[in-house]
Amino acid sequence: MTIDHTSADPRFAGLPGRPGKIVAVHLSYASRAAQRGRTPEAPSYFFKASSSVAASGGTVERPAGTELLAFEGEIALVIGAPARRVGEDTAWDHVAWVTASDDLGLYDLRANDKGSNVRSKGGDGFTPIGPDLIDARTVDPGALRVRTWVNGTLAQDDTTAGLLFPLARIVADLSQHFTLETGDVILTGTPAGSSVVVPGDVVEVEVDSPATGATSGRLVTTVVEGPDAGFDAALGSLPAVDDTQREEAWGSRAAAGLAPESESEPVTLTPALRAKLAEAPVAGLSQQLRRRGLDNVSIDGVRPLHPDAKLVGTARTLRFVPNREDLFASHGGGYNAQKRTFDAVSEGEVIVIEARGEAGSGTLGDVLAIRAHARGAAGIVTDGGVRDLDAVAAVGIPVYTTGAHPAVLGRRHVPWDHDLTIACGGATVQPGDIIVGDADGVIVIPPALADEVADAALAQEVEDAWVAARVAEGHPIEGLFPMDAAWRARYIEETGR
Alpha-carbon distance of 329 to 319, in angstroms, equals 17
User: Does 381 carry a binding-site annotation?
Assistant: no
**One-letter amino acid identity for 345?**
V
User: Does 376 carry a binding-site annotation?
Assistant: no
412 C-beta neighbours (distance < 10 Å), count: 21
Cis amide bond preceding 482, omega within 30: yes
Length of the chain in terms of residues written: 497
The beta strands (E) that lie in 263-354 are given as 298-299, 303-304, 311-322, 349-354
User: Does 253 carry a binding-site annotation?
Assistant: no
Cis amide bond preceding 131, omega within 30: yes
Please choose, from the candidates 338, 64, 107, 116, the residue with its C-alpha nearest in 3D space to the C-alpha of residue 227.
64
Residues facing 424 on adjacent strands:
427
> Are 432 and 332 a contacting pair, CB within 8 Å?
no
124's CB contacts (< 8 A; 6+ apart) are 51, 52, 54, 61
Please choose, from the candidates 64, 63, 76, the residue with its C-alpha nearest in 3D space to the C-alpha of residue 122.
63
Please choose, from the candidates 29, 25, 32, the residue with its C-alpha nearest in 3D space to the C-alpha of residue 185.
25
54 C-beta neighbours (distance < 10 Å), count: 25
User: Does 433 carry a binding-site annotation?
Assistant: no
How buried is residue 325: exposed, middle or buried, by Cβ count under 10 Å (0-12/13-18/19+)? exposed
User: Does 388 carry a binding-site annotation?
Assistant: yes
User: Does 387 carry a binding-site annotation?
Assistant: yes
Residues facing 73 on adjacent strands:
102
Sequence-ordered alpha helix ranges (H) in 154-196: 167-175
Binding site per annotation, positions = 365-368, 387-388
Binding site per annotation, positions for Mg(2+) = 388
Binding site per annotation, positions for substrate = 365-368, 387
